[in-house]
Amino acid sequence: MKKIAYLIIGLFIAAGLQGCKEDPRLDHHDTNAPAPAQVTDFKQENTPGGANIIYRLNADVNLAYLKAVYEIQPGVFKETKSSVYTDTLKLEGFGDTREYDIKIYSVGKNEKESAPVIVKIKPLPPPVELAFNDLSIEPGFGGVKVRVKNELQASLAIVIDADTSGSGLLRPLQTFYTKSAAGSYSVRGLTATPKKFSVYLRDRWGNKSQAIVKDLTPLFEQRVPKPFAMYALPTDQAALAPNVLANIWDGLVNLNIYASANNSPIPQWFTVDLKIPVVLSRMKMHQRTPPYTYTGANVKVFELYGSNAPALDGSWASWTLIGKFDSFKPSGSVGVTKEDEAYGFTNGEDFEMPDTPPAYRYLRFKTLETWGGTGQVTLAEITFWGKL
Neighbours of 335 (CB within 10 A): 8
Domain count, the chain: 3
- How far is Cα 176 from Cα 350, in angstroms, rounded to an integer? 14
Residues 92 and 135 grouped into a single domain: no
Same domain (yes/no): 335, 267 = yes
Q: Do 271 and 352 sit in the same domain of this protein?
A: yes
Indicate whether 281 and 321 sit together in one domain.
yes
Domain identity same for 99 and 48: yes
Q: Which of 216, 248, 275 represents a domain boundary (last residue)?
A: 216
Helix (DSSP H) and strand (DSSP E) numbers for the chain: 3, 24
Residues 146 and 55 in one domain: no
Is the residue at 28 inside a domain?
no
Pair (96, 152) in one structural domain = no
What is the per-residue pLDDT for 192? Answer: 92
**pLDDT score recorded for residue 26:** 44
pLDDT of residue 205: 96
- Is the domain of 254 the same as that of 370? yes
- The pTM of the full predicted model, rounded to 2 decimals, is 0.67
Give SS3 for 18.
Answer: helix
Residue 333, φ and ψ in degrees, nearest 5? -95, 170
* Same structural domain, 134 and 117: no
Cα 202 to Cα 154: distance, rounded to the nearest angstrom: 10
What was the pLDDT predicted at 10?
54
Last residue of a domain, one of 102, 121, 140: 121
Report the half-sphere exposure of 241 (CA within 13 A, side-chain side).
Answer: 6
- What integer pLDDT is reported at residue 31 of this predicted model? 80
Reduce the DSSP state of residue 251 to 3 states and report it. Answer: coil
Residue 266 and residue 378 in one domain: yes
In a domain, 188, yes or no: yes
Domain assignment of residue 58, given as a range: 42-121
Q: Quote the pLDDT of residue 4.
A: 53
State how far the Cα of 109 lies from the Cα of 37, in Å rounded to an integer.
12
Encoded amino acid at 362, one letter = Y
With a cut of 50, which residues of the chain have pLDDT below it? 1-2, 17, 20-27
Q: Examine the domain organization and report whether 63 and 195 are in the same domain.
A: no
Decide if 64 contacts 53 (C-beta within 8 A): no
Question: Do 226 and 355 belong together in one domain?
Answer: yes
Residue 4 three-state SS: helix
Residue 195 placed within a domain: yes
Alpha-carbon span 119 to 100, nearest angstrom: 8
Report residue 225 CA to chain centroid gap.
Answer: 32
Terminal C-alpha separation, the chain: 113
Q: 114-126 burial by CB neighbour count: b if 16+ within 10 A, else e?
A: bebbebebebbeb
